[in-house]
C-alpha cells in the first residue's frame, strides 16, 4: 500500500473514532454504565442553570466532517497563540494570561464566524461543534468539572448592571459575602481558587517580592489570619512570621507595595535623587519603628516619643537630614489623610 493510501486510511479511522466517541458522549447513562467520580453531583445540576450542559436533540446526527474542520481551526489557533506556561504566583502571570485569553477569544470569535459562514446558522447547535459554541469555562483548569460548573453558576448570579460601590466598607462586606458564597459552592477547592483570584493573591503578585510558590502560599496563609480587628499581639506575631518567610529585604519590599503612604515617601526620596535601595533602607527603619510603636501601645517596649526620635535620627544618618525631613513629612501627611478618610467612612 502506498504512503498516500495509508494516510487516507488513517484519516478515515480517526474520523470514525471521533464520531464514535462523540456519539457515546451524547448517549444517556444505562444501568450497566459505572458512574464516574463526581458524576452524581454533576447530574444533580440543572441544565437550565448551565447552558453548556443542554443535550443536543436525539435526532441530530454527528457530523465528522465538521469535527475535523473544527480540529483543524483549533490546531491552527494554538500554533499562533500557544498557552503561556506561567507560575500563577508570579507578578507577570496575570498580564501574560490576560493577553493570551484576549487573543484566544478573538480566535474563537473568528472560528465561529468561519464555521457559520461555511455551514450556516445551524452550526451553532451542531453537537460536533459544541465545544466552540457552548464551551465550559477553560480559565480554571485547576478546578474539577463540578467546581467549574458551581463557579459559573455563582458568577452568573452575582452579575449586576448596577454601578460599582464607592463606599469601601460596603465593598468589603460585599466581597466577604461573595467569598462565603464561593466557599460553599467550591468546597475543598475554594483555597485553590483564592490562591489565584482573591484580591489578596493579586496584591501579593503585584508586589513583586514573592520568589517561590512555597513562599507565596505561606505569606497568603499568614495574611489570611489578619482580620479587621486584629490585636496588637496578633499584628506583631503576623509581622514576625512574614519577616521569617520573606527575609528582611523581601519583607521591606512586600510592605512597601502594600503601604499606601509609601508612594509619597518614595517620591520625596526620588526628588532628593536617592536610589531605590536608599529609599527602601529608610523605609525599613520606618517599619521597625511602627512595630515598636504598636508594642509600646500595648504596654511593652520603650516610650513612643523615644521610638520616633530614634527613627528620625537613623533615617537622617542614612539619607541626610533634609531628605529625611521631607520623606517623613510626606509619609506622616499621607498617614493623617488616610486616617481622616477612614474616620469619615466609618460615620
How many CB atoms are located within 10 Å of the residue 173 CB? 12
| Residue 234: partners with Cβ closer than 8 Å, 6 or more residues away | 225, 226
pLDDT at residue 165 in the model: 63
Integer CA distances (angstroms), 202 to 35, 164, 287, in order: 38, 19, 23
Quick one: cell of 66? 465538521
pLDDT tens digits for range 212-243: 999 999 999 998 887 666 788 888 889 999 99
Which of the two residues, 211 and 323, has the higher pLDDT score? 323
Q: What is the mean pLDDT of residues 189-213?
A: 89
Answer yes or no: are the C-beta atoms of 209 and 247 closer than 8 Å: no
- Of 31-35, 93-97, 244-248, 282-286, least confident by mean pLDDT is 31-35
Which of the two residues, 343 and 112, has the higher pLDDT score? 112
What is the rounded distance in angstroms from the CA atom of residue 150 to the CA atom of residue 152? Answer: 5
Residue 85 scores a pLDDT above 80 = yes
What is the rounded distance in angstroms from the CA atom of residue 65 to the CA atom of residue 63? Answer: 5
Q: Using 50, 70 and 90 to split pLDDT, how confident is the model at 13?
A: very low
Q: Is 102 helix (H, G, I), strand (E, B) or coil?
A: helix
Integer CA distances (angstroms), 257 to 9, 104, 262, 286, in order: 61, 32, 8, 14
pLDDT tens digits for range 298-316: 666 678 889 999 999 999 9
Q: Using 50, 70 and 90 to split pLDDT, how confident is the model at 164?
A: low
Q: What is the pTM of this model?
A: 0.57
Question: Which residue in this structure is represented by grid cell 508570579?
Answer: 90
Q: What is the mean pLDDT of residues 132-154?
A: 78
pLDDT at residue 335 in the model: 85
Amino acid at each position: 500500500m502506498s504512503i498516500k493510501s495509508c494516510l487516507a486510511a488513517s484519516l478515515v479511522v480517526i474520523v470514525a473514532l471521533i464520531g464514535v466517541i462523540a456519539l457515546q458522549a451524547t448517549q444517556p447513562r444505562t444501568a450497566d454504565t459505572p458512574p464516574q467520580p463526581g458524576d452524581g453531583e454533576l447530574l444533580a445540576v440543572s441544565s437550565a442553570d448551565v447552558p453548556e450542559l443542554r443535550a443536543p436533540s436525539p435526532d441530530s446526527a454527528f457530523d465528522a466532517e465538521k469535527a475535523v474542520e473544527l480540529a483543524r481551526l483549533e490546531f491552527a489557533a494554538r500554533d499562533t497563540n500557544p498557552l503561556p506556561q506561567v507560575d500563577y504566583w508570579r507578578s507577570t502571570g496575570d498580564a501574560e494570561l490576560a493577553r493570551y485569553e484576549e487573543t484566544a477569544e478573538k480566535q474563537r470569535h473568528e472560528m465561529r464566524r468561519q464555521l457559520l459562514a461555511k455551514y450556516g446558522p445551524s452550526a451553532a447547535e451542531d453537537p460536533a461543534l459544541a465545544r466552540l459554541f457552548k464551551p465550559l469555562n477553560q480559565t480554571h483548569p485547576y478546578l474539577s468539572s463540578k467546581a467549574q460548573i458551581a463557579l459559573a453558576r455563582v458568577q452568573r448570579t452575582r452579575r449586576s448592571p448596577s454601578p460599582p460601590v464607592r463606599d469601601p466598607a460596603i465593598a468589603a462586606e460585599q466581597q466577604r459575602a461573595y467569598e462565603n458564597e464561593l466557599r460553599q459552592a467550591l468546597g475543598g477547592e475554594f483555597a485553590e481558587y483564592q490562591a489565584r483570584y482573591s484580591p489578596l493573591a493579586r496584591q501579593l503578585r503585584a508586589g513583586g517580592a514573592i520568589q517561590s510558590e512555597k513562599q507565596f502560599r505561606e505569606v497568603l496563609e499568614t495574611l489570611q489570619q489578619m482580620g479587621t480587628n486584629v490585636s496588637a499581639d496578633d499584628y506583631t506575631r503576623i509581622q514576625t512570621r512574614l519577616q521569617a518567610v520573606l527575609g528582611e529585604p523581601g519583607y521591606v519590599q512586600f510592605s512597601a507595595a502594600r503601604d499606601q503612604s509609601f508612594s509619597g515617601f518614595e517620591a520625596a526620596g526620588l526628588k532628593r535623587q536617592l536610589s531605590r535601595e536608599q529609599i527602601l533602607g529608610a523605609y525599613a527603619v520606618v517599619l521597625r519603628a511602627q512595630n515598636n510603636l504598636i508594642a509600646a501601645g500595648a504596654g511593652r517596649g520603650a516610650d513612643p516619643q523615644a521610638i520616633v526620635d530614634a527613627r528620625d535620627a537613623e533615617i537622617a544618618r542614612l539619607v541626610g537630614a533634609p531628605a529625611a525631613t521631607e520623606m517623613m513629612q510626606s509619609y506622616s501627611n499621607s498617614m493623617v489623610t488616610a486616617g481622616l478618610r477612614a474616620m469619615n467612612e466609618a460615620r
